[in-house]
Structure 1
Amino acid sequence: MTEDDPTDEISDIEARIEALAEIAERCRKYILASKLAIGGGAALLLITILGLLGMGQTAALGSIALVLGGIVSLGSNVSTLRQTESAIGDAEALRSQLISRIDLRVVADAPMKLV
C-alpha cells in the first residue's frame, strides 16, 4: 500500500459512523422514554386534578415535574440526534469521496474445472 492509499482512513471513518449510529440509536430510545414520561405525567396530572384516585398535591407536583423533565429530555435528545445524523452524513460523504479516489479493479471469477 502506498502513502496515498486511503483505506486506513476509510476504516477509521467507518468505525466513526458505527459509533455515531450507536449514539443516534440511544437518542431515539431516550426520545421514546421522554415521550412516555410526558404522556404519563400528563395522564397522572389529569387524574390528580379530577380527583379520581384521591391523590394529593404531591402527585400533582410529581406529575408536573415528570412532564417538564420529559420535555427537557426530549428537546435535548432531538437536538443531539439531529447533530449526530448530520455528522453521519458528513462522514458518509467523506467516505464516498475517499472510495472514489481508489483505483478499483474488477476481479473476474476463475473458470471452473469440471472433474
Structure 2
Amino acid sequence: AGHAITCLTYQYSGITGGTPTATECGSAVTTCYKYQTTTTTPASSSMFKNSLTLTSYRGSCGGCNSAWTDCNTCNTDQCNSAFAAVRSVAPLSLALPLVIAATLRCF
C-alpha cells in the first residue's frame, strides 16, 4: 500500500486565470505525474491565455490516466476506492468559463 498524495487538475481560460480543482488520491495510488501545456493567442487588444494541466496516477490497478471517462471502470476495487474521496474547490468562474472534472480512466 502506498501513501495518500494530493494532485491538481485544472483548466482556466480567460484574461485573469482560474481556480484549481484539488483531487485527493487514495492510498492505492503511489505516484502522480503532472503534464502542463499553455497556449497564448491574440484576442482583441489583449492576450487570451488557455492553460490546461492534466494528472496521471499510478496505483495498484495499473495506470490511471486522465481522460474523459470515470476511473471506476477499473477491474479492481483498489483503484476504485482510491478515487472515492475526491474534493473539489469552488468551481471556475471566468470570462469564458470552462470546467474540467477530475475524471480518470484505468487500463
TM score, norm. by length of structure 1: 0.25
| Structure with higher strand content | 2
Structure with greater contact order relative to length (CA < 8 Å, sep ≥ 6): 1
TM score, norm. by length of structure 2: 0.26
| Structure with higher helix content | 1
